Chain A
Amino acid sequence: MTTDILFDLKGVKKSFTRGKETIKIFDGLDMQIKQGDFLAIMGPSGSGKTTLLNMLGGVDQPSSGEVWFDGARIDSLSEGQLSKWRANNIGFIFQFYNLMPMLNAARNVELPLLLTNLSAKQRKQSVETALQLVELADRAAHLPKELSGGQQQRVAIARAIVSDPKLLLCDEPTGDLDRHTADEILEMLQLLNEKFGKTIVMVTHDPSAASYAKRTLHLDKGEFVEKDLAA
């Protein structure tokens, strides 16, 4: 069963226990994300943005409630199953790029493909395509330390899209970049959303970054709040 609803969160609760105290992050969150959406999630530090993204990405699981993805529940999957699910469906983009320092750009991009049955030749092909898309084909043999922050993030984007996942999850993708470079990255995400139909969920605390998204949700104390964005 496929609907145009990609994500459906129903009554999601999440709390952490640190020593004796229990911190409640979400207490019954409902949320829907449509296929092809470009959603920005904003909110003050500690409001639970990363935690939400982790649950969407199957990296973390809710304490209770349901997370549906493309008509299937993912919150009850085992760790091994989630691992496979992530490899098949999600591309991750992190604030600090998280590239493997000892691998060159092409090898970094290739990583997700090592989990597929593609031949070395097919992998090479896909890596080239992905690197061309982020306009870094000429830097394929460079190590991360030989690239600028913006270039590293583009390699990370190539890595996220190389296995052609439906969904991209980005946690403060421009948090470590200057304005100009950040705009380049955001344009790239916009392109992926508009031309390649990728659904994107992006966490940010930068309003101008959020302006690239189709819609923005504001998170505060574990709840979505209405906020007037007077243009």
Chain B
Amino acid sequence: MTKLLNILALVAKYGGLLVTLPIWLPFWIIWFIFEKTGINRLIANFMIATGLYLTFKNLFRKPLRLGLTCFAIMIAFLIFSVVTTLKTALNAGVELSADNRLVVVNSINFTQPLPYAYVNKVKAIEGVKDVVHMNWFGGYFQEPSQQIVTMAVDPENYLKVYEEVVIDDEARARWFGNRRGMLIGRALATAFGWKVGDLIPMSSNIFSNREGGHVWEMEVSGIFDGRDEQFGTNFAVFHYKYFMETQTFGGDWVGWLTLTTADPALNEKVAKAIDEEFSNSQAQTDTSTEKAFNKAFIEQIGNIGLMIFGIVFTAFFTILLVVGNTMILAIRERTGEIATLKTLGFSARSIFGMILTESMLLAFIGGFAGLGLAYVMVEGAKTFLAQFLPGLVLSDAVAMQAIGFMVLLGLVTGLVPALNAYRLNIVTAFSRR
């Protein structure tokens, strides 16, 4: 079993070494600079003062092994941090949904329309505060590949229901007063370089207009921000009236309704009342909280949570094996030295501490390198991905989780060798040689 592990560790090490040369090269350069400038001597002096000198020397006794192990740990924490951040961003829509917001869709499925008359009927139901109706426009700019999430809404009620959409009073007035006016999010404005007053030809990949084309001319009335950093501002909203009067599909219909209740405690009652109200109508409804709705939507993309868990778990487990095995081998090589230290009068407990500290340091050096790299990558991808994946930030929560795992990794990989060293008997250790 250990033999198999050793072989696996070797393959992982040297295979990884070749493939990933560009990434770990910086470690070498840092090490080299440390060595040449005497920074490592500075660290060493600090370690002497704090009694950690031996630990430090042991950690750095084989720079190649240290580099490879740190690299493996770094990759694990890079994967962990990036993947968890992605997951958080994907779920941001779910997490940020207001607690008192409900979505009313056609019970057949959410792409089927609802009659316009439902708006007022829903509004009349007890416990309902504000209602906005929304239509999916299927928008893009110039090329179908440049998709833009665009919805036709009732402006006043939209801003009442979506309090996260932050906009100044001037822009609000401008939008309400301009039939062709459109509100765009900050991320969208940045991505396309649009300013207030710009005339934008928005195309639809679903609808055609009465002039025989797919293009609606709209004017940017304002640029909104999100109340929280994680609220995605990569979409646009425009007047329902303008849309209805110009499209050829006809009829008095809306895509779905979003409403707020007076109190989240009323959610269930209100949802039930709405669905009952229309249970004998032609279009029956399905009302759920926005949270549940968004979650169901994301789950259609694939079971993201499970997938992510799988990746992270596999990466972690592999690293754990490699690091744990390396530590055990490294300590076993030092059997004679540990026996000598014990003979000189170093207590079993202090040697236990030294080895555990060493594995902790290892986990922290590699872990923080991975976390740092993840931060750089996420920051780099943030503006680039703002269009598709808003709210991409490496949150404190993710960082804290990563640090928690570093502690865990250090403990788990250090515990076995530290215990072995603790229990090492001087007489047998020397007579074994």
Contacts and interface: CB of A to CB of B under 8 A. Distances in A.
A120 B49 CA distance: 7
B23 interface: no
A84 B348 contact: no
Contacts of B60: 102
B427 A87 contact: no
Contact of A87 (B48, B57, B345): B345
Contacts of A112: 344-345
B426 interface: yes
A192 interface: no
Contacts of A88: 345
Interface in A77-125: 79-80, 83-88, 92, 94, 98, 100-103, 107, 111-112, 114-115, 120
Contacts of B345: 83-88, 112, 115
Contact of A80 (B54, B61, B337, B347): B347
B342 interface: yes
B384 interface: no
Interface residues of B, number: 25
A83 B344 CA distance: 8
Interface string B53-67: 110011011000000
Contacts of A85: 345
- A-side interface size class: 20 to 34
Nearest to A169: B343
B337 A87 contact: no
B61 A87 contact: no
B340 interface: yes
Given A60-B427, A120-B49, A92 B57 contact: no
Contact of B58 (A54, A59, A102, A107): A102
B346 A83 contact: yes
B341 interface: yes
Interface string B340-382: 1111111111000000000000000000000000000000000
Interface in B270-310: none
Contacts of B138: none
Given A54-B427, A98-B336, A100-B337, A87 B344 contact: yes
* B343, B345, B348 — most chain A CB neighbours (10 Å): B345
A111 B348 contact: no
Interface string B311-341: 0000000000000000000000000110011
Contacts of A80: 347-349
A80 B349 CA distance: 9
Given A79-B348, A80-B347, A102 B57 contact: yes
Interface in B75-101: none
B197 interface: no
A92 B343 contact: yes
A83 B348 contact: yes
A86 B343 contact: yes
Interface in B413-433: 426-427, 430-431
B51 interface: yes
Nearest to B343: A92
Contacts of B431: 50
A98 B54 CA distance: 15
A114 B51 contact: yes
A48 interface: no
Nearest to A54: B427
A157 B254 CA distance: 93
A115 B48 CA distance: 12
A54 B342 CA distance: 13
Contacts of B343: 57, 59, 86, 92
Contacts of A83: 342, 345-348
Contact of A111 (B49, B341, B349, B427): B341
* B48, B336, B341, B344 — most chain A CB neighbours (10 Å): B344
Nearest to A159: B344
A67 to B, nearest CB: 15
A98 B340 contact: yes
Contact of A59 (B57, B336, B348, B427): B427
A180 to B, nearest CB: 26
Contact of B346 (A79, A102, A107, A115): A115
Contacts of B54: 100, 103, 114
Contacts of A111: 341, 344
A103 B57 CA distance: 8
A107 B346 CA distance: 15
Interface in A26-46: none
Nearest to A104: B57
Contacts of A86: 343-345
A144 to B, nearest CB: 11
Interface string B237-270: 0000000000000000000000000000000000
A7 B341 CA distance: 24
Contacts of B58: 102
A87 B341 CA distance: 10
B85 to A, nearest CB: 39
11 contacts: A79-B348, A83-B348, A87-B345, A94-B340, A100-B57, A100-B337, A101-B337, A102-B57, A111-B344, A112-B344, A114-B54
Given A54-B427, A59-B343, A92-B343, 13 more contacts: A57-B343, A79-B348, A80-B348, A83-B345, A83-B347, A86-B343, A86-B344, A88-B345, A100-B54, A103-B54, A107-B57, A112-B344, A120-B48
The 8 closest A-B pairs by CB, nearest first: A87-B345, A98-B340, A102-B61, A86-B345, A102-B57, A60-B427, A59-B426, A83-B347
Interface of B: 48-49, 51, 53-54, 57-58, 60-61, 336-337, 340-349, 426-427, 430-431
